[in-house]
Chain A
């Protein structure tokens, strides 16, 4: 076989297709931005009090809880796993927070208690999923049950009120920076920037994408695949804990029912934001847009005096349509 015959064609056609694809993928974020703007414009015209500073900051405050937890859930998704335990986690970690504060009158100790429980949950999720190798849906679904049951068991299905009423604790979820931007929104924004930076510009972030994109290739590149996944679960639980602390501050108590269905809201936002269930694809920016769209939607629908249940229905439809659309795009590409 004489390889001296040099007749191979250079593949310009391929390069053109590549450019088109890159534009297309970037466009999915643009689609979301446009959707968000259209949504806001629509409600601004149809709902009287929608486009007021007061309402907009209110929405941001609501959105921030889902966004903080959403960062972690999105990272777990990108690593190729799922975490659906964040709803019950919200209720669970609020208990040590409030109980310890009630006993010690110390916010620091309360926060430490909450974060310690969150860390423990993340470690268990991560260990069972990444190291033992049990399907992470099963692990975190099981965790969802166990934590909720545990909360009911401990609280006897009542809320535990914050008896101390520390100003600093109240401020976390209820006050605003310069009186304008609610603290939860500030926290969400800072965390979002930090993790966007990590996912894009730190080797660890790239490892998460690589592990989710192709675990075998990542292994061959010398990555500690299990450790990376493990850390993702821990990050997710810790971020969900932060969202739970802010929620507890707003509610002024550890409520046994808090976070019920929250995991699905977050998953909906993450999926709407273009983060793929199969791992390796998606951005935190997209996730943030997903959260904002769903939050503005539910707020706007509320203002139009539509029954709150419509939000559930519309969110469900959006999830299905978003994923179907992604799938269609992928098959076209």
Chain B
């Protein structure tokens, strides 16, 4: 869909951002970035994780304040210091994290930003319910508008979030990875919403790293890399390759160095008929020493649930887990760790890091007992061991005493991986190991995972990133609806086959 160049008079820009820079302690997140949105057009903003996409839209939304640069709307320069400033200017941002009040009904959440009120100032609940229902009917999305929002599945919440954009008099709608938790069916609905927005003359900024979606919906593409503006071109001028080239700046193969040999025959982890009350149904698989087993699935397929169940974090309702031939019983993390299995969680802040505590304390947490006699910690041994991991993994930190919150995402992730290696696990479960990590650090994490396998660890990797899955795994297991639906060897697997199996 090339831009319609036949329009006689060039329309005024809906939004113009120029020279935008933003720096955080230790990181230049944005460096002299510019962006121009036209009314009635879909502008895609692309880039790898850490490229600066989120920072840019958070500046637009009034979540962050820019350090320098100007923002113009309809030619007039404006300042956005608070989310309410953005809303007043008609900028509506749909964030990747659900921005809904869980305890409110779907209908109320639609009107969160401006309740319709009657003459006396009372909220007109009937209007809210009626208009919310009409709104969802218009886009053909079937949801109970009187339901408590928090009780809906994540993908439906995301759709509610998107539908909100229609309820306001927005002139600019920004969508941050809106499809990340949607089913293909819902992605169709999403595109319908977007086309409706553009037909009303609204400018849409579509933030994504999914090529097929961008080719389908966007008119223009801007690519960011490492906080810099790389290119802005009509989509028609792009091919898959040129877009990847712009985003990554190098060829994809170099991201996945593969140095390990074939896996051994020794079974390190065996899961038989595993079920949980909430999600998992009859899961069976094995992982051998020296092997990377990749799990793929759409949002809600049960990957994270599986990861948490096999390391004893979440309770199970049936089945058996054995590590190195020994059964995981009782089913708790302490037993799991002592048998040699541990989880690198997808939620680094929530389930991994002790943000205020130093690197060394974070690193040695799981292996602390090895440095202790009668409960007393030998700190010099602890530090020496930590230092050796910092050196080996090339963890960039000024010192072992640095609070870990001051490290970059990639280095934090390396510390958490090192936490498990220090403990000497035989099976390591990694869930979305490169989430929120910049490209350079990503390839380092990939190399580390490869090295773990080559050193004889069994690696179970949960991921939603197709390149990562195909690039790293020896075997690929696909999940849907809490079950394993398909299994592929490295050679058999292709994007299409894996995705089809995931759709179920």
Contact = CB atoms under 8 A, between A and B. Distances in A.
Direct contact of A and B (CB under 8 A): yes
Interface in A201-221: 201-203, 206, 209-210, 213-214, 216-221
B83 A219 contact: yes
Interface of A: 1-3, 5-11, 14-15, 17-19, 21-22, 25, 201-203, 206, 209-210, 213-214, 216-224, 280-281, 333
Contacts of B99: 216-217, 220-221
A202 B121 contact: yes
Interface in B91-117: 93, 95, 99-104, 108, 112-113, 115, 117
B101 A213 contact: yes
B248 interface: no
A281 B108 CA distance: 15
Contacts of B350: none
A203 B84 CA distance: 16
A80 B63 CA distance: 21
Given A8-B186, A14-B152, A206-B115, A213 B213 contact: no
B495 interface: yes
Given A18-B144, A209-B103, A210-B104, A6 B152 contact: no
Given A5-B184, A8-B184, A281 B115 contact: no
Contact of B122 (A5, A15, A201, A221): A201
A206 B108 contact: yes
Nearest to A223: B84
Contacts of A213: 101-104
Interface residues of B, number: 51
Nearest to A205: B123
A7 B501 CA distance: 11
A222 B82 CA distance: 7
Contacts of A217: 99-101, 112
A206 B115 CA distance: 9
Interface string B321-337: 00000000000000000
A203 B93 CA distance: 22
Given A202-B122, A214-B101, A222 B148 contact: no
Nearest to A219: B83
B277 to A, nearest CB: 11
B492 interface: no
Nearest to A333: B151
Q: Can you list the 4 inter-chain pairs with the closest CB atoms, starting with the nearest?
A: A8-B185, A8-B183, A222-B84, A18-B147
A60 to B, nearest CB: 29
A273 B7 CA distance: 63
A221 B185 contact: no
A201 to B, nearest CB: 5
A17 B115 contact: no
B87 A21 contact: no
A280 B103 contact: yes
A201 B212 contact: no
B112 A201 contact: no
Contacts of A10: 142
A149 to B, nearest CB: 34
B216 A3 contact: yes
B234 interface: no
Given A11-B153, A19-B144, 6 more contacts: A1-B212, A15-B144, A203-B115, A217-B112, A218-B101, A221-B87
A21 to B, nearest CB: 5
Nearest to A13: B153
**Residue from A2, A10, A219, A221 having most chain B Cβ neighbours under 10 A:** A221
Given A217-B101, A220-B95, A3 B123 contact: no
Interface in B439-486: none
20 contacts: A3-B188, A3-B213, A3-B216, A6-B184, A7-B184, A8-B185, A8-B186, A9-B183, A14-B151, A14-B156, A21-B151, A206-B115, A213-B102, A213-B103, A218-B101, A219-B63, A219-B83, A220-B93, A220-B95, A221-B113
Contacts of A8: 183-186, 503
Nearest to B186: A8
A209 B186 contact: no
A6 B142 CA distance: 15
A220 B499 CA distance: 34
B500 interface: yes
Nearest to B182: A8
Interface in B54-103: 61, 63, 82-84, 86-88, 93, 95, 99-103
A209 B149 CA distance: 14
Given A213-B103, A220-B99, A222-B83, A202 B123 contact: yes
Given A1-B212, A202-B123, A14 B504 contact: no
Given A8-B183, A202-B121, A209-B103, A221 B83 contact: yes
